[in-house]
């Protein structure tokens, strides 16, 4: 009797199954899911109220209320924090032994990483929708770009979040401890957000921060999302944001894939 070797399923099936597993795990923990939705709403509420006076500056007034200026950057901020959680989730699956079990199966390790990014992007979509609805209902956010501009801005934010998740997966494959990943992530995230145009227009930033904002890739993502959602001329901002995201995703995927294959845990 001829013995037929099992070669496993195709790459697409692996990604679909692993993505579904990650989504079920994310939505099954109701308390975690609830607080993951509540966190960006609370941050939006705090920032919009604490910095409300900034809306009276002439450089901000052209955007309308400060909430209209703040909401697009909040969307990108949510994408950034969700990308951070991708790295944390990969480390959790590593230390719980799930990744070790996958290494013993005939599957592509890249499908594990890709599934993680797709599941977290789907979770990000829910977070963005809830935050937008809360901004409109509770804080009076008025997207001048209408439904089309807002949906396009959300889609661009999802792409940015997906690209950034590869970067944090790469960091996770280099970090031996969750504490290391957390420290590195916070060191990267706060300077990136506060040296961009997230909370203040470039005209009112100190000269050295304004100079940093011009080389900060988040600035271009925020400006593109802001222009789309508020109905401002977009120019080449979207394409530049997409190009920078693609570069980050390619570099992150290459590094994460190499480290993930080399790691033995």
Give me the tens of pLDDT residue by residue for the chain, a chain 265 residues long: 555 565 678 889 999 999 999 999 888 888 888 888 898 888 888 888 888 888 788 878 888 888 999 999 999 999 999 999 899 899 888 888 888 888 888 888 899 999 999 999 999 999 999 999 999 999 999 999 899 999 999 999 999 999 999 999 999 998 877 788 888 887 888 888 888 988 888 888 889 998 988 888 899 999 999 999 999 988 888 999 999 999 999 999 999 999 888 876 5
CB neighbour class for 264 (10 Å; exposed up to 12, middle 13-18, buried from 19) = exposed
Is the CA virtual torsion 152, 80, 263, 253 positive or negative?
positive
> How many whole angstroms separate alpha carbon 145 and alpha carbon 44?
20
Tell me the chain's radius of gyration from C-alpha atoms. Answer: 20
Write out the H or E segment, with its range, that includes residue 132.
helix 109-139
Q: Which single residue is written with the structure tokens 């990969």?
A: 90
Among 160, 218, 162, residue whose Cα is nearest residue 188: 218
pTM passes above 0.85: yes
């Amino acid at each position: 009797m001829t013995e037929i070797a099992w070669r496993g399923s195709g790459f697409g099936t692996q990604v679909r199954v692993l993505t579904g597993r990650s989504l079920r795990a994310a939505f099954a923990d109701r308390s975690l899911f609830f607080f993951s939705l509540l966190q960006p709403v609370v941050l939006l509420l705090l920032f919009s109220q604490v910095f409300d006076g900034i809306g009276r500056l002439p450089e901000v007034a052209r955007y309308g209320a400060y909430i209209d200026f703040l909401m697009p950057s909040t969307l990108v901020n949510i994408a950034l924090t969700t990308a951070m959680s991708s790295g944390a989730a990969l480390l959790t699956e590593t230390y719980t032994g799930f990744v070790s079990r996958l290494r013993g199966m005939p599957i592509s390790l890249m499908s594990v990483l890709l599934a993680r990014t797709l599941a977290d992007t789907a979770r990000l979509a829910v977070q963005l929708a809830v935050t937008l609805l809360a901004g409109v209902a509770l804080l009076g956010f008025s997207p001048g770009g209408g439904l089309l501009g807002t949906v396009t801005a959300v889609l661009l934010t999802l792409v940015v979040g997906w690209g950034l998740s590869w970067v944090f997966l790469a960091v996770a494959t280099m970090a031996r401890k969750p504490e290391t990943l957390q420290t590195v992530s916070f060191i990267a995230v706060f300077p990136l957000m506060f040296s961009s145009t997230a909370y203040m227009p470039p005209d009112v930033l100190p000269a050295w921060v304004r100079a940093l904002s011009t080389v900060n890739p988040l600035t271009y993502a925020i400006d593109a999302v802001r222009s789309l959602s508020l109905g401002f001329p977009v120019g080449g901002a979207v394409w530049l944001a997409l190009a920078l995201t693609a570069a980050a995703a390619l570099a992150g995927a290459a590094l994460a894939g190499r480290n993930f294959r080399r790691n033995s845990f």
